[in-house]
A = this chain, B = another copy of it.
Amino acid sequence: MMVPPAVNLGIDIRVLAEAEGMAAQLAATEIGDYRDAETVLRFADDVDVITFDHEHVPQKILRQLVDRGVAVHPGPDALLYAQDKLLMREKLSELGLPVPIWARVRTEDELQRFLDDNGGRAVLKTPRGGYDGKGVRVVSAAHEATDWFAAVAESGSDDGLLVEELVEFRRELAQLAARRPSGDIVFWPVVESVQRDGVCAEVIAPAPASAGRVADVAAQIAGDVASGLGVTGVFAVELFETTDDRLLVNELAMRPHNSGHWTQDGSTTSQFEQHLRAVLDLPLGATGCTQPHTAMVNILGGPSVGTLTDRYADAMEIHPTVKIHNYGKDPRPGRKVGHVNAAGDDLDDVVYQARAAAAFFQD
């Protein structure tokens, strides 16, 4: 999704992709494994700056890139906190940022003690590799984590697992922001993000009833995260709005994020254009809304038969105002294969339009 703004701005973009797909149809694309140092280093020889659409490039390779003098944004020091949730929690606590009660647990006994101290239920997370609800489990007894402790022991790691209080929250919010290497930072309006089965289903921008304190606190947190962790590029801070009116940091994403897809059709500067500007250390674009309300609804799984494009005739006929984004991925249960944005004056209407249009692509 960085390709369209790169084309508009005349920026020569190259993509190192894992497999064939939309991105791989572009001339400058190379197919290769981001975990292979030789592949990544060779790819980097031809570019001015390296960035990512996920956080999984190994630290060792990132540091080799930096050692070679390649501009890497976000840099390895910042990405570390997006790669390891235990390090992230430690760092955020050290910075004094509001987080759920958490602990590193290495044994079932330690986990049980945390459960006993925190209402008998908690969220257990593997520090690395989690994504869209994977590597996350709600537990109410330590023996429910026997397999994960065994896996950690087998891996030879002494890291343990991350356990967090089960936060009582009213809703989930996300604060999208962008920061240049030279330090300037901009914030989009805070949004509400609706999760289903641990996966983002919808985003409402701006979050209803968020003007004032909520928006200010969310931006303040994101600003502290960015400067405290040295983030560059676009990043998202996922937040819990608790039932007792606090904002707690849930997760960090150091890249353009699903909670920011609404910006493609609802903000003066999309998160993808902004990310290009930020990693190139260009001045950042305006982050205001072009219309009062924008709704983003994910297309999860896709159609049971055929592809998304087979449904265009029907979806476009009934919903001429929505913007359809198709990732060109094969449909698969639960997979994010696209999203729909709708923007306008009336919140109920844009939510309806985006949901109804997205429904054409799922069955």
Given contacts A22-B10, A326-B10, contact A283 B317 (CB under 8 A): yes
* Chain A interface size, under 10 / 10 to 19 / 20 to 34 / 35 or more: 35 or more
Q: Does A8 count as interface, using CB distance less than 8 angstroms?
A: yes
Q: Are B277 and A316 in contact (CB under 8 A)?
A: yes
CB neighbours (8 Å) of A285 from chain B are: 316, 320-321
Q: How far is the CA of A201 from the CA of B28 in the complex (A)?
A: 33
| Distance from A83 Cβ to chain B, minimum over Cβ atoms (Å) | 28
Closest to A315 in B: B283
Q: Are B22 and A325 in contact (CB under 8 A)?
A: no
Q: How many copies does the complex hold?
A: 2
Q: Are A290 and B343 in contact (CB under 8 A)?
A: yes
Q: Does A312 count as interface, using CB distance less than 8 angstroms?
A: yes
Given contacts A4-B3, A26-B26, A283-B313, contact A328 B290 (CB under 8 A): no
CB neighbours (8 Å) of A10 from chain B are: 22, 308-309, 326-328, 338
Q: Does A7 count as interface, using CB distance less than 8 angstroms?
A: yes
Q: Does A107 count as interface, using CB distance less than 8 angstroms?
A: no
Q: Are A323 and B8 in contact (CB under 8 A)?
A: yes
CB neighbours (8 Å) of A29 from chain B are: 27
Interface flags, A257-280, vs B, CB<8A=1, else 0:
000000010001100000001000
Q: Which residues of A contact B (CB under 8 A)?
A: 1, 3-5, 7-12, 22, 24-29, 264, 268-269, 277, 282-286, 288, 290-291, 308-309, 312-313, 316-317, 320-321, 323-328, 338, 343
